Structure 1
Amino acid sequence: MRKILGRLLLAVGGFLLIAGVLATVWAPGVVKKTPIDVDTTTRLDGVATKLGETFPVQVTSVTRSDTEASTDETAIWVNTSCVVDNSEGDAPDCVDGDDPRLVSASIGTFATDRETALATDHENLPPGTTPYEGIVNKFPFDAEARDYPYWDGTIGRAVPAEFVETTEIDGLDVHHYRVEVLDEDIEVAEDTPGSYSQTVDIFVEPDTGAVVNQQQSQQRYLEDGTQVLDLNVAFTDEQLETSIADAKDNKASLALITSTLPLVGFLGGAVALVAGVLLLVTGRRKTSTHEAAHREAVPV
């Protein structure tokens, strides 16, 4: 019985050690990659002042991955964003260009590296796609306490997302980054030159790279200094609650695969192997002692 149990423990120990090695070496490279089956809607709200009139607004950003066009290394994305006057309440996510409630709308197609999360070029992007650069929709797994390049679609280039601090939101540790753009020349409307300034505060759960909150303040001016837009928005309360809950769940799942499983594999495997060896050794000693006693009892 000791031999059977010992051999069983050896097999279990070997299996657990192999599982620990796989969880350490192989699993992180699989789970720490941006998924390509994403379909998310992010909602912000706040206040806008346009041409002297102040009103509440809602922002709806829909991000979908193109699973068929994506590859093992690259994720292909389509993002639509719409800012709508919500003075009457219950405004739709977006309206057409003839609707006076429309403040702004945009659509973008881009590709990101599934490990670094940085924008990249890819042959599966539609012809004529605007080249993106830097961070676009999420930060990398294991986001660091350092600056990152961050895509600004209004000026068409990446600007620094500067690391500010590590802080806490509802019990969740997050990295706070800040993006600042000051007096950049743009067209505030078709054939109407002007300038643009913006500050974006981004709060990121570092293990997963997920954005859990965002606060944005944007101003646009005509060349003579007349302000045509002052927009101040942040994640809605419901969006913030959902983002934090999702980040906590995904962080726990990631820790289970990359930390808990290797620990269980190595410790459990070592204990099982030692126990198995001890059972086999003690079993052999008892067998040897019994055989010796039997030989001594046989008359010559």
Structure 2
Amino acid sequence: MPSPTSVSAPPPAPATTATGARTAAPTSLALLGLGVFLLVLAPLLAWYVTPWAKVTPVDVDVTTVFTGTGSYFDTDALRTRDRQRITLTRHVLGDVAASEKSGRAVWDVSTTVDTPKTLALADPRRAFQWTTERWVTDRRSNAPVHCCGEAPTRFDGDAYLKFPFDLRRTGYRWWDNTLGAAVPLRFAGERRAGGLVLYRFTGTVPATRTGSRQVPGRLVGRPQQGQIQAEEWYANSGIELVAEQRTGRIVDAAISPVKTLRAPGGRHDAVTLLRGERLRFTPATRRAQLRLAEADSGRLALVGGALPVGAAVAGGLLTAAGVIWVARGRRRTEDG
């Protein structure tokens, strides 16, 4: 009679099946979770993150330079000098502290107009003309905001140092600080520079009285009067602004300003104070503005296009793979 100790226990089930089921389940669930996460992330990037990325920068420090030929009134010689090189330099510096406190884009702008004589002095206080301004705009819409010590306080329009985001093929109003009013611009065509889409806008300013200035009467045809309040007039025969479509950054610009004096009530210009014959961005300025536009546009395209699409595609593939893996793992467990 066999002893109890001689009875052998039934062999255990192969460890590979149980072990395989236990190792496959966490991995497949992690894959499925990652896929679902990416599917949720895709619309968040497109609908929530992208609008937050489309804001006017506040930490700007940009200098743009216009050059061209023209005329200016030499106060030493009391006459207008023609065929001279005119240089317009604009420096934009963001007030980061004021911007963060107010939630607006606060930019301080210094603009100098120089003749060959004053350009060599390298001092804005000794320029032919020097103006300082403080622009405050909404960081999303680019609309003017009246706060934070802005100057001028009557600033209005859709565009000045930049256009709004996502430009349309329509008209915009560009603020002309010399005129002290917004100038209507019309859409004048589209072109490309590398991968950038550029919109061109043009406009003009008819001769408009902008103020008065005390001058010797003989300068404006009134020699019998010692000093006279002459009328200041301004016109711009050609405004051309080229902006990158996605960011609204101006990558090229040309202007033709004319400032003159007239006798009180006069119908004709008596003195030309300044005439710029198509002052335009220098090649170096155009290259720098294009580089900035490429960087800004690339970031917006990545956040608003490539990342959401990539997340959606990858999420769909990972979710499908995770579902299949989980289903196969369950079948193996049931079969075992």
TM bracket, shorter-chain basis: 0.7 to 0.9
**Which of 144, 150, 156 is the matching residue for 1:133?**
156
Indicate how the Cα distance of structure 1 residues 235 and 170 shifts in structure 2: closer, same or farther if over 3 A, else same: farther
Q: Distance in 1 between matches of 2:175 and 2:152?
A: 15
Q: Tell me the residue number matched to 2:42.
A: 20
**1:277-292 map, 5 Å:** 277-290=323-336
- Structure 1, residues 54-100: CA drift from partner, whole Å, max 9, x if none? 21122210111222222564212211100111369x73554324xxx
- 2:144 partner amino acid: A
| Aligned ranges 1:119-268 → 2 under 5 Å | 119-122=144-147, 124-125=148-149, 129-134=152-157, 135-169=159-193, 172-187=196-211, 189-190=213-214, 191-198=229-236, 199-223=238-262, 224-226=268-270, 228=272, 229-231=274-276, 232-268=278-314
**TM-score in terms of structure 2 length:** 0.78
Aligned residues of 2:166 and 2:245 also touching (Cα < 8 A): yes
The number of residue pairs the alignment matches comes to: 283
Separation of aligned partners in 1, 2:25 and 2:294: 46
Letter of the structure 1 residue corresponding to residue 55 of structure 2: K
- 1:33 aligned partner: 55
Query: For 2:199 and 2:152, how far apart are their aligned partners in 1?
Result: 31
- In the aligned structure 2, how far is the partner of 1:109 from the partner of 1:18? 42
Distance 1:129 1:235 in 2: 24
Q: Which runs of 5+ in 2 are unaligned?
A: 1-22, 73-79, 215-228, 263-267
For structure 1, the 5+ residue unaligned runs are: 291-300
Provide the TM-score with structure 1 as the length reference: 0.87
- Shift in CA distance, 256/43, structure 1 to aligned 2, threshold 3 Å: same
SS for the counterpart of 1:26 is helix
Match of 2:106 in 1: 76
Encode CA deviations 1:85-119: one digit per residue, 9 max, x unaligned: 1369x73554324xxxx332111112111111121
Aligned twin of 1:293 = none
1:40 and 1:93 mapped to 2: Cα distance? 18
Cα pair 2:146 2:153 within 8 Å, conserved: no
DSSP-derived class of the 1:265 partner:
helix
Equivalent residue in structure 2 for 1:273, among 302, 315, 319: 319
Identity value in percent: 25
Deviates more, 1:61-70 or 1:71-80: 71-80
> Match for residue 111 of structure 1?
136
Instruction: Give distance in 1, aligned partners of 2:283 and 2:121.
Output: 18
Alignment of 1:65-104 (within 5 A): 65-71=94-100, 73-86=103-116, 91=120, 93-97=122-126, 102-104=127-129
